[in-house]
């Protein structure tokens, strides 16, 4: 069974550009989470999808971040326009139900220059 897959693994963009991160959860997992780790700090929750619906988006930093999960399968996280402070590692995780283990992807390292 394939694990959680994230694309790209690395992205370097200029300030003001747009970047879209993608997450493919484990097949059959209704719950999908996005987290972010800014260098040297803790991993912070961004948002939680249940199927295609946003269950909790309390961690989204601002309106430059847009997450979607059309059809309840893969999810995208778009940053537009990117700022320097958006640099970090973005993790995606999925779980079958909220009471079962969440499996994490390898993360996307985003660098905004």
Partner 1 sequence: AQSVTQLGSHVSVSEGALVLLRCNYSSSVPPYLFWYVQYPNQGLQLLLKYTSAATLVKGINGFEAEFKKSETSFHLTKPSAHMSDAAEYFCAVSEDTDKLIFGTGTRLQVFP
Enumerate binding residues for partner 1 (CB under 8 A): 3-4, 31, 33, 35, 40-45, 48, 56, 59, 91, 93, 98-107
Dist. CA 93–CA 24, nearest whole Å: 9
Shortest Cβ 14–partner 1 spacing (Å): 26
Query: In this complex, which beta carbon is closest to partner 1, that of residue 80 or of residue 106?
Result: 106
Identify any residues that bridge with 37 across adjacent strands, giving them in sequence order.
43, 89
- Pairing status of strand 108-112 against strand 10-13: parallel
Query: In this complex, which beta carbon is closest to partner 1, that of residue 31 or of residue 82?
Result: 31
Task: Let me know how many helices (H) and strands (E) the chain has, helices first.
Answer: 0, 11
Question: How far from the centroid of its chain's Cα atoms is residue 103's Cα?
Answer: 13
Shortest Cβ 47–partner 1 spacing (Å): 9
Shortest Cβ 23–partner 1 spacing (Å): 11
């Amino acid at each position: 069974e394939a694990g959680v897959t994230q694309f790209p693994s690395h992205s370097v963009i200029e300030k003001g550009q747009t970047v879209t991160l993608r997450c493919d959860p484990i097949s059959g997992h209704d719950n999908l989470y996005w987290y972010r780790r800014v260098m040297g700090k803790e991993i912070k929750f961004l948002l939680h999808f249940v199927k295609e619906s946003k269950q909790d988006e309390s961690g989204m930093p601002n309106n430059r971040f847009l997450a979607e999960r059309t059809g309840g399968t893969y999810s995208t996280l778009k940053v537009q326009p990117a700022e320097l402070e958006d640099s970090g590692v973005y993790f995606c995780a999925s779980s079958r139900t909220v009471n079962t283990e969440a499996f994490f992807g390898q993360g996307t390292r985003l660098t905004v220059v």
